[in-house]
Structure 1
């Protein structure tokens, strides 16, 4: 059992304060006060007039003959601040030794990094442009070409291109070895803890890291009050003792790593290894870094090209589906015809389409009953999109049991009353995974710290792992397509739902029109029918009817029949049409209003009601509909005032605003103000109308007529005190009123 174990990923590798003995580091503030420095090699000590330089200004400790160096330093610092230069480097001589000096800013401090220039002659780089041209023409062999080119630029025995996986483990995707006796690691996997999280973060910021000799003792920063400094930008910084031991266990003393950055993220590394100590010239390292960045940019370009092709293919399939489903009512049924296309595009083994109890399958799929159980589980979890590549412990309940042979699942739920599920399946692929050593962490007990600390693994012999229960992974290509398909189908269902809603509204309107038509017939034909009935009964009951009386009665009957015929025609035309067109005519209202009053008094047994008809002006409109309008309003006035102590109805008209206003006023039962808003609803009767004949249709008919003919209506009423209705008839020549 391990107690108080230190985790490798917790090590603060950027704060170790260790520098390789191939140069030295000086850290100064903006006033050029020296805050820290590493051991200064003997070849460079001639620059300073003292060995105790921490806390002093640079100009105070540099000997007179090196004042030119101080002036160069000041110029470099000004250039960095003025131009915001990331790094200023040049070659200088300190005594008899050549150094590369690099000056750069870190927060509010400046680092002066001195690296001894290697004595060996650098390889000629006349062919570097040719290397870049080779990379620009590469596609599938890009990383292998990069490893070959780096091997020509740098004298390491092994060059590997290492790609990070989603779980932060890695795999070697390209390799070049200068020594044929070396073991090959191409295709081998490395565990995540070989390059812990904080190391990956440093690789994302500082794209080149190298160690000359893993066995050499590093120098420690000398600071005031044991102050810590962040050395992540320091090229010659030393590495963690754990990693240095790791290199030695792997059989190497020297290594160099270059970050492969794709879309701003760490995609992988170029890993260079050598069995002996090796100090590679700064210029050669920079060439390798440039080649790696160039390859990464080309890799991104190739990915973008593939994405464009995929996007075009996806768009073509989406358009095919869209053209079909938008023309049909049942989206689910139409999608069945695209099962093969959807299966092929997703590169799946099988496809299922499920709506309620209907399960349509294509290709190789699990049994229908298992699919149904999975859909039930998905409904409980309600994910927008569910993707599974293997049986993780966090998979939704029932996946492993139901889809044992199909660990690759992509499920797209389409939500809504007409919704359904699309599911793609990928079969299990049994693989053998090769590891460069068994992927397990080792720990040892450290007596100094009295704790258990991480220990680098010692074995890199191939270790085989048989992997079961996994499928080919769903990539960005497939997950992106599912997202686009979801938007397309969800939008289509919304449109279909909107169309159905509109159809329902039209159906309701047509039903209302039909109701209005039928109830108008039964309601408004009662007056002329009553007149016909009374005239007919009179003629039948009298044997010797005077000619003048007979003529009057038959005229009433014929007029009533004409009124009924006209009303039937107009009501039918009026009810079925969205646009009611008519030729306006000047209608004399006095005659038919008088008839309406007589017939209404007879119909509602209101002979005691006094009706005052003042000036009745002609109005402009359609004769039959205007007749119906007054029939309902005057009829209601007479009916609901019939039981008053001294019932009366007053009808008058006057000219106003280039039109005619009619006022119908009664002293009937009136209406409560809070009920006026609902007076036009069909079958709506007022709360105080009990004991009066009626069906609640009259005012609904009134509303449809005034809307069709462009007449304005207003109603004022008080409960128990009567009602007053104003009708405004505009004078116009042509009328075409929309619903």
Structure 2
């Protein structure tokens, strides 16, 4: 059989140029030039000066009567440059016939659409608020209520709620019929090609589509140079010939569909069908559209509430598992004790937990060898999560052969040195699927094309399909649990795997800190301890000690204690800076430098010190460490310049080589060049620092911080003139 390659989904339905004969359409450019129009109505002579209007300016071809009858549209046309994307609709009259006139913009073109206004009065408009109240209270009966309300708003013979499946086929989930003699299609399925891809895409852009009479010849668009124009937003656009024939085959002469959009995606359609021609007024269609959008929002609300409940249920089991596995060294062994809970929550018939050569099974599962082969296949594909409820052509290799009786598979891979796999199984359930006609696309021979081309289906009678190789579908509740369980177990395993490494690192850091304490005790702390010892022995061995001497000895003891306390505090601070963990962030130094200046002046009697701050640019690093860095450097600058004749400290920064350079300059005592190389040694004090408070720890802390943050530091100093410290902060990007 020769089959034409053209498919239904290849038809450009938005460019067919067909308009229903219930109105007419103009397409204009910004200058009001008529680029295209449909056939004009017979009474057009009352409003238009001529029927030869292509290429002419709209305002030049309408009568003066148009301008007096339709001032709103006339004003909108005259301000087309500022017209936004909203649709302006006004009631207008052409002769004795009332129309809805609509003006809207698509890209750089303006569409002027006229649709005949219905003279039928609809009493349901008065009950509109009541309908919305009904929907606001609906839960399980939501779509049934929608079908009933839509049919009350618009007198169609059938209104059904059509829900799209994952494979783009559809199912009728709710229905309202005008009489009992009309055949019900509730629960029937429809194949994907009944609503082809480009039709589904169009429903996401134009949310309402209708045809008043499938047997009436549509009007054709006329355009300059036969240029086709996009009619996707045109309300009175006619349907494609294939779709019209589909409706005739279904024995309906009028149809209307409204998009049901949930979270911005096409969830389904409100499908309305009538056995006789039926033109629904624009206002009624808008009411039905509003009801549908309201129902979609209500459905999303119910869905969100259910998903929140699912997450809360998941959290309960997660917390139970987390509390247990965090206290155990072997996550895999501990998880086996939760087999019942995991199986029950996932509503599966069995599960398997695998680690290396060990397999633990619970409930009903395939053979262990088959499970191992399946896990190996998924491991090669680098899959972390895999969920399927039926065997199909895209199933993982070996699934159908390995799990013939278990088409429902949920797989979770926990990576890491002590990683493992969890697989849940659901047994096959054989079902009968109802179709509205056999789901096969028919073809007919086209004499013109000399080939077989797709044709609309002609039968919608019940056709039953026996469905095998399918299990109950994994729900959102179960899929979100698998994802959250993965995160929990993955983090736990990583934590367990890195605990030994982290412990070793911490031991090294602690040993370094202990070395620091040991060094202090064996060297620098000897002097204050000796002073305390001598003073104490003197007080104990002497009697009737004069008050002034007793006061002196007591002061020596207290001064020694204070020295030791201060030094230990500094050592502890230094130790913290060596093990501090950080994440680079943008730090605003101007937020704390002023504070450091004030505190340092108070501490080191620097009230007379003039501190001048220039630009203080933000830098990348860790906020606490950056604060500690500037605290030590600025404090030293203020301290060692406080006794100068005119103490001055300057702090400024500027951009340099995609980074920030900071300079802290003072006119203090300065540093001997020979001592600059040893300035970062802990407890190292400069030879000319006698008479200044300090313990020799500050610059050691500075060195540890700049090394950790990859900050470049350099020092220039002259004894008796002052010191300049340069700090270069690199800029972080995605590669750092």
Structure 2-normalised TM-score?
Answer: 0.69
Post-superposition shift, 1:86? 1.4
Report if aligned partners of 1:151, 1:176 keep a CA contact under 8 Å in 2. Answer: yes
Flag the 1:169–1:582 CA change in 2: closer, same or farther, 3 A.
same
Give the aligned partner of residue 58 of structure 1.
58
Give the aligned partner of residue 90 of structure 2.
90
The answer to whether 1:13 aligns with 2:13 is yes
Post-superposition shift, 1:189? 0.3
Flag the 1:579–1:291 CA change in 2: closer, same or farther, 3 A.
farther
Q: Work out the CA distance in 2 between the residues paired with 1:405 and 1:474.
A: 16
Q: Work out the CA distance in 1 between the residues paired with 2:479 and 2:124.
A: 48
Report if aligned partners of 1:18, 1:218 keep a CA contact under 8 Å in 2. Answer: yes
Post-superposition shift, 1:503? 4.4
- For residue 424 of structure 1, give the secondary structure of its aligned residue in structure 2: strand
The within-5 A match list for 1:656-667 is none
Give the aligned partner of residue 279 of structure 1.
279
Give the aligned partner of residue 535 of structure 2.
none
Post-superposition shift, 1:710? 7.2
Give the aligned partner of residue 149 of structure 2.
149
- For residue 466 of structure 2, give the secondary structure of its aligned residue in structure 1: strand
Give the aligned partner of residue 192 of structure 1.
192
Q: Work out the CA distance in 2 between the residues paired with 1:307 and 1:468.
A: 29
The answer to whether 1:387 aligns with 2:391 is no
The answer to whether 1:446 aligns with 2:446 is yes
Give the aligned partner of residue 254 of structure 1.
254
Report if aligned partners of 2:389, 2:470 keep a CA contact under 8 Å in 1. Answer: yes
Give the aligned partner of residue 211 of structure 1.
211
Give the aligned partner of residue 404 of structure 2.
404
Deviations 1:399-435 (A, max 9, x none): 1122111111111111111111111111111111110
- For residue 162 of structure 2, give the secondary structure of its aligned residue in structure 1: strand
- Count the aligned residue pairs: 539
Give the aligned partner of residue 534 of structure 2.
none
After alignment, is 464-473 or 382-391 more displaced? 382-391
Q: Work out the CA distance in 2 between the residues paired with 1:107 and 1:495.
A: 55
After alignment, is 76-85 or 33-42 more displaced? 76-85
- For residue 31 of structure 1, give the secondary structure of its aligned residue in structure 2: coil
Post-superposition shift, 1:157? 0.2
Q: Work out the CA distance in 2 between the residues paired with 1:388 and 1:294.
A: 33
Post-superposition shift, 1:44? 3.0
Post-superposition shift, 1:444? 1.6
Flag the 1:119–1:351 CA change in 2: closer, same or farther, 3 A.
same
The answer to whether 1:33 aligns with 2:38 is no
Post-superposition shift, 1:34? 1.0
Give the aligned partner of residue 706 of structure 1.
none
Q: Work out the CA distance in 2 between the residues paired with 1:397 and 1:469.
A: 15
Report if aligned partners of 2:161, 2:173 keep a CA contact under 8 Å in 1. Answer: yes
Q: Work out the CA distance in 2 between the residues paired with 1:580 and 1:354.
A: 54
Flag the 1:581–1:271 CA change in 2: closer, same or farther, 3 A.
same
Post-superposition shift, 1:367? 2.5
After alignment, is 77-86 or 451-460 more displaced? 77-86
Post-superposition shift, 1:265? 0.7
Flag the 1:497–1:153 CA change in 2: closer, same or farther, 3 A.
same
Give the aligned partner of residue 340 of structure 2.
340
Q: Work out the CA distance in 2 between the residues paired with 1:10 and 1:397.
A: 32
Q: Work out the CA distance in 2 between the residues paired with 1:441 and 1:483.
A: 39
Deviations 1:65-94 (A, max 9, x none): 223256432323467754625111121111
- For residue 288 of structure 2, give the secondary structure of its aligned residue in structure 1: helix
Flag the 1:80–1:435 CA change in 2: closer, same or farther, 3 A.
farther
Give the aligned partner of residue 497 of structure 2.
497
After alignment, is 493-502 or 430-439 more displaced? 493-502
Q: Work out the CA distance in 2 between the residues paired with 1:145 and 1:579.
A: 83
Q: Work out the CA distance in 1 between the residues paired with 2:281 and 2:135.
A: 23
Give the aligned partner of residue 420 of structure 1.
420
Report if aligned partners of 1:6, 1:452 keep a CA contact under 8 Å in 2. Answer: no
Q: Work out the CA distance in 2 between the residues paired with 1:424 and 1:495.
A: 26
Post-superposition shift, 1:27? 1.2
Q: Work out the CA distance in 2 between the residues paired with 1:187 and 1:579.
A: 84
Give the aligned partner of residue 466 of structure 1.
466
Q: Work out the CA distance in 1 between the residues paired with 2:695 and 2:321.
A: 52
Flag the 1:237–1:580 CA change in 2: closer, same or farther, 3 A.
same
After alignment, is 166-175 or 376-385 more displaced? 376-385
After alignment, is 62-71 or 346-355 more displaced? 62-71
The within-5 A match list for 1:42-441 is 42-69=42-69, 71-77=71-77, 82=82, 84-441=84-441
Q: Work out the CA distance in 1 between the residues paired with 2:487 and 2:232.
A: 45
Post-superposition shift, 1:578? 8.8
Q: Work out the CA distance in 1 between the residues paired with 2:266 and 2:221.
A: 30
Give the aligned partner of residue 484 of structure 2.
484
Flag the 1:579–1:441 CA change in 2: closer, same or farther, 3 A.
farther
Report if aligned partners of 2:255, 2:273 keep a CA contact under 8 Å in 1. Answer: yes
- For residue 91 of structure 2, give the secondary structure of its aligned residue in structure 1: strand
Report if aligned partners of 1:27, 1:37 keep a CA contact under 8 Å in 2. Answer: yes
Give structure 2 stretches of 5+ with no counterpart: 528-680, 685-693, 702-736
Q: Work out the CA distance in 2 between the residues paired with 1:278 and 1:364.
A: 57
Structure of greater Rg:
1
Q: Work out the CA distance in 2 between the residues paired with 1:218 and 1:408.
A: 50
Q: Work out the CA distance in 2 between the residues paired with 1:209 and 1:279.
A: 12
Deviations 1:191-211 (A, max 9, x none): 000000000011000000000
Report if aligned partners of 1:80, 1:86 keep a CA contact under 8 Å in 2. Answer: no
- For residue 392 of structure 1, give the secondary structure of its aligned residue in structure 2: coil
Deviations 1:569-618 (A, max 9, x none): xxxxx99x9999558558xxxxxxxxxxxxxxxxxxxxxxxxxxxxxxxx
Q: Work out the CA distance in 2 between the residues paired with 1:585 and 1:29.
A: 94
Q: Work out the CA distance in 2 between the residues paired with 1:265 and 1:43.
A: 43
Post-superposition shift, 1:502? 3.5
Report if aligned partners of 2:30, 2:81 keep a CA contact under 8 Å in 1. Answer: no
- For residue 125 of structure 2, give the secondary structure of its aligned residue in structure 1: coil
Q: Work out the CA distance in 2 between the residues paired with 1:56 and 1:304.
A: 54
After alignment, is 196-205 or 77-86 more displaced? 77-86
Q: Work out the CA distance in 2 between the residues paired with 1:509 and 1:113.
A: 78
Post-superposition shift, 1:119? 3.1
- For residue 174 of structure 1, give the secondary structure of its aligned residue in structure 2: strand
Deviations 1:609-654 (A, max 9, x none): xxxxxxxxxxxxxxxxxxxxxxxxxxxxxxxxxxxxxxxxxxxxxx
Q: Work out the CA distance in 2 between the residues paired with 1:479 and 1:451.
A: 47
Q: Work out the CA distance in 2 between the residues paired with 1:88 and 1:108.
A: 16
Report if aligned partners of 1:80, 1:104 keep a CA contact under 8 Å in 2. Answer: no
Q: Work out the CA distance in 2 between the residues paired with 1:247 and 1:467.
A: 28
Give structure 1 stretches of 5+ with no counterpart: 514-573, 587-708, 713-731
Flag the 1:580–1:489 CA change in 2: closer, same or farther, 3 A.
farther
Flag the 1:83–1:231 CA change in 2: closer, same or farther, 3 A.
closer
- For residue 56 of structure 1, give the secondary structure of its aligned residue in structure 2: coil
Post-superposition shift, 1:33? 1.0
Flag the 1:335–1:579 CA change in 2: closer, same or farther, 3 A.
farther
- Give the CA RMSD over aligned residues: 3.0
Q: Work out the CA distance in 2 between the residues paired with 1:300 and 1:206.
A: 20
- For residue 397 of structure 1, give the secondary structure of its aligned residue in structure 2: coil
Flag the 1:319–1:124 CA change in 2: closer, same or farther, 3 A.
closer
Post-superposition shift, 1:254? 0.2
